[in-house]
Amino acid sequence: MSANSKKLIVIVSLFLGILLCLGCIGMKPNIEKGLFNPGNPPIRRLRITIDVSRREELFVQLQEFAEKHAFEFHLTFYDRDNKIFLVELYRKDLQILAADVPDTPTMINLRFLDQNPATPTPEETVDELFNDLKSFLSEIPNITVTEVE
């Protein structure tokens, strides 16, 4: 192996290491907001089965739902191919998270969580949002939406 090849490998390795660190730093605000807090169990859950080619439609529907119900919308990709993602919808009472299932690219898990479990969101509010979100998702052709207990 030539000296130039070794230098190239070192440079590429350093670059990838920096990208990995930036990805971890990018997740820090989510951790601080409690989005990955295991002590905050989901109120409701959905499992979505959708063709990978229709994910853009899913993101559009989630964004339209967010706008209708005054949620902030954030979409983050964690790889170059945009296969690993997290959609975050949040407002003062609720957060809704949608994430890919790494080993099953056609499957997406969606969770409703209270922003503050000490003051739960009224059940009728959750029911209304849950049903409206399912309605938004039903606009996507060939999607399967299943409630998870």
- CATH number of the structural domain spanning residue 126: 3.30.160.110
Residues 74 and 87: beta-carbon distance below 8 Å: yes
User: Is the same domain home to 43 and 82?
Assistant: yes
The CA-atom distances, in angstroms, between 14 and each of 9, 26, 73, 136 are: 9, 18, 32, 43
Q: What is the pLDDT of residues 51-98, one digit of tens each?
A: 999 999 999 999 999 999 999 999 999 999 888 999 999 999 999 999
User: Is the same domain home to 77 and 100?
Assistant: yes
Structure confidence at residue 35 (pLDDT): 46
- The DSSP bridge partners found for residue 110 are 46, 98
Q: Starting at the earlier edge strand, list the strands of the sheet with 144-148.
A: 72-77, 85-90, 94-101, 104-114, 44-49, 144-148
Q: Look-up: residue for tokens 């996507």?
A: 140
Q: What is the pLDDT of residues 13-52, one digit of tens each?
A: 555 555 554 554 454 444 434 445 556 789 999 999 999 9
User: Is the same domain home to 12 and 83?
Assistant: no
| Closest by Cα among 25, 29, 43 to 96 | 43
38, two tokens: 């295991």
Alpha-carbon torsion, ordered 70, 33, 122, 45, to 10 deg: 90
Domain that holds residue 21: 1-31
User: Is the same domain home to 45 and 26?
Assistant: no
How many domains does the chain contain in total?
A: 2
33, two tokens: 């907001």
User: Is the same domain home to 59 and 125?
Assistant: yes
- H helices present in the chain, as ranges: 3-32, 55-68, 123-137
User: Is the same domain home to 21 and 72?
Assistant: no
User: Is the same domain home to 24 and 39?
Assistant: no
In sequence order, which residues have a C-beta less than 8 Å from that of residue 74 and are 6 or more positions away? Answer: 87, 88, 89
pLDDT greater than 80 at residue 116: yes
Establish how many alpha carbons lie within 13 A of residue 11's alpha carbon, considering only the half-sphere containing its beta carbon.
6
The whole-model pTM stands at: 0.73
